[in-house]
Amino acid sequence: MDFQNRILTHFHNSIDTKSQASEVLPAHIEYASRLMVDSLLNEGKILSCGNGGSAGDAQHFSSELLNRFERERPSLPAMALSTDTSTLTSIANDYSYNEVFSKQIRALGQPGDVLLAVSTSGNSANVIQAIQAAHERDMKVVALSGKDGGNMASLMTAEDCEIRVPSDVTARIQEVHLLVIHCLCDLIDEQLFGGM
């Protein structure tokens, strides 16, 4: 196989995964956006977390809310929990890497806030502990997952929202996660600011 055909295979696989996701995810994405908007309208905030590429997605989401997405509008309260290296390394060193997000949520999370928890496998131990801590703080959870939802799936309550990408390939799941994040940002802006 030459390189260009290999590249085309990646494009086609990505398109196929997005097409499958478009058939099952829109209602979940809409519900997640409503959870987030309800929190923001009630002076809540959105905390986000993940590891590796999912940490990048969590940071991408918070930056789109804090700064702007595609329109000029006031900044919205959001924070990625993967950005403070001193906090992350001190918790990992003094306690456990599995607690790097949960300890922050216990300190910063308030009832009515929302946690955006990102894990392609649904099995990241520190993201699972983050979900548990969010529930302890009376927060709702929006989980971005893939594959079979992993251990995160069993933690979702009736008020939470799991957006599970129908794929077993990490790269494809991450590509859809980014699209979901952009959908959430657009829907949040539309609900809060309309035709502003």
Res 195 pLDDT > 90 = no
pLDDT digits (tens, 9 = 90+) for 85-140: 999 999 999 999 999 999 999 999 999 999 999 999 999 999 999 999 999 999 99
**Is 122 known as a binding-site position?**
no
What are the sequence ranges of the domains in the chain? 3-193
Does 182 count as an annotated binding residue?
A: yes
51 has binding-site annotation: yes
Q: DSSP state, 70?
A: S
pLDDT tens for 44-93 read: 999 999 999 999 999 999 999 999 999 999 999 999 999 999 999 999 99
Q: Which two tokens stand for residue 13?
A: 């696989």
- 70 assigned to a ligand binding site: no
Beta carbons of 57 and 144 less than 8 angstroms apart: yes
Strands (E) located in the chain = 46-49, 78-80, 114-118, 140-145, 161-164
pLDDT at 196: 60
CATH of domain 3-193: 3.40.50.10490
Is 177 known to sit in a ligand binding site?
no
- The annotation status of 124 as a binding-site residue, yes or no, is yes
Q: Is 174 annotated as a binding residue?
A: yes
pTM for this one? 0.96
